[in-house]
Structure 1
């Protein structure tokens, strides 16, 4: 535990995360309604969009197994910590020992940067209307996974580790789940840090149904598909929805990784006492 972080301060931060978890029991009305248009429009979706969705599904499977093309570079995240600490010799292995406030600051900056990129992409693909979703869907999946990986690094975890990739996919699944699903995932991840081989294998086994993650992820494009049927108007809606999705993903990743790091710091504090 860092000297500047008292046990009381960490427990307070843990309460903040737990309150956020409780707030997830509610499901925003528009999130529920937003899934309806997708079911209606699914039959008239161009085959190119369906093909891109299928491709994204396959790449998620590849990502879980070996990282695929979605593994991000850790250099940019480390550079942010070097700038924050004035330590040019800092590496990923040192991040976990830094104060939680540093981790929060860097992860927040990363999410802000990714939201701007997503907004620009959404506006660009919105120009072409409905058909450009075949470009936007793989892009938003890729930037979502990379954002979560960068958040993982920000809290001192290595996304090259398969267990971390499982955690990241669970974060992605959480964003797209309903109330029951969110609570189930929070329960699954509650003791993810424990060296419980059986528990880890159970989580891995559950992810064999990873296609469900992408189906839920796809459903979140319901409203976007509806409004992108109107070219040009899709610029506004594409930008807004992309920003909202990355915002939700960023918040989820930061909160769940914060909780893991806080619990580890508290455990380290107990061990050193």
Structure 2
């Protein structure tokens, strides 16, 4: 979902009022019940999951968890941009849009290359795309003034990832977890995080489009389009999540 363009010439208070409306619109989308098409896609996904050997499921699940944990807790995460200070929301949103465009193009190129390479390269796209997504989230955190060095921020990033790629039946619970984030206490390790649900929601969300990426001849264009849309959705989710925190801050 490409972000809406704000009206030109808004004062900063007017811009924040416009952004508040965008956040409310986004929240309604996040809380929208599953449609009949969603249910049908879910039924197809269940059938696909039954066909795929359990060993393949186990490998993909393990890769997702290990890579996600490694990026979130590893030293490399602290090398991302320093938090942006003393900037209005309008400037932060512009910088966020620019970052999303860059990462979206990178993901699309990566998806096109791996999609052209057949099954094994397409399978390699799973961990590569996780890396791109998490790097985008760390950069957006910095743009909105938050430090990725803090564990609470990494946990927030993980929940944003989960929210973006969960089905309708799970999104409300994740959104509730993100409410009033800066005013609440949070776990100090990832051990209480529900990795199993995270992995299942993520895999179920992306498996259908990613399966098409493995089909000969159409793999390259499908891979590019799918990755483009996945990064677009993630960026939209993160921007509105961080806008929410900005608008909730004490006056």
Identify the residue that residue 24 of structure 1 maps to in structure 2: 30
Does structure 1 residue 61 correspond to structure 2 residue 40?
no
Gaps (5+ residues) in structure 1?
76-91
The CA deviation at 1:256 is: 0.3
Residues 1:230 and 2:199 are matched in the alignment: no
User: Is there any run of 5+ residues in structure 2 with no aligned partner, and where?
Assistant: 1-10
- The one of 57, 70, 80 equivalent to 1:74 is 80
1:139 has 2:142 as partner: no
Structure 2 distance, partners of 1:206, 1:30, is 35
Q: What TM-score comes out, normalization by structure 2 length?
A: 0.82
1:206-253 per-residue CA deviation (whole Å, 9 max, x = no partner) reads 852123212211122322343234212111111111111110000000
Task: Quote how far apart the aligned CAs of 1:159 are.
Answer: 1.1
Q: Name the count of aligned residue pairs.
A: 239
Shift of 1:58: 1.9
Runs of 4+ with >6 A deviation? 203-206
Q: CA RMSD in A?
A: 2.7
Matches within 5 A, 1:44-123: 44=52, 50-64=58-72, 66-67=73-74, 71=77, 73-75=79-81, 92-93=82-83, 95-123=84-112
Q: 1:61 to 1:205 in 2, by over 3 A?
A: closer
Comparing 233-242 with 205-214, greater Cα deviation is found at: 205-214
CA distance 1:32–1:56, shift in 2 (3 Å): same
- Pair 53,106 (structure 1): closer, same or farther in 2 beyond 3 Å: same
Deviation string 1:103-130 (CA, Å, 9 cap, x unpaired) is: 0000100001111111111111111233
Larger radius of gyration: 1
CA distance in 2, matches of 1:232, 1:146: 30
- Judged with a 3 Å threshold, the aligned counterparts in structure 2 of structure 1 residues 44 and 12 are, in CA distance, closer, same or farther, namely closer
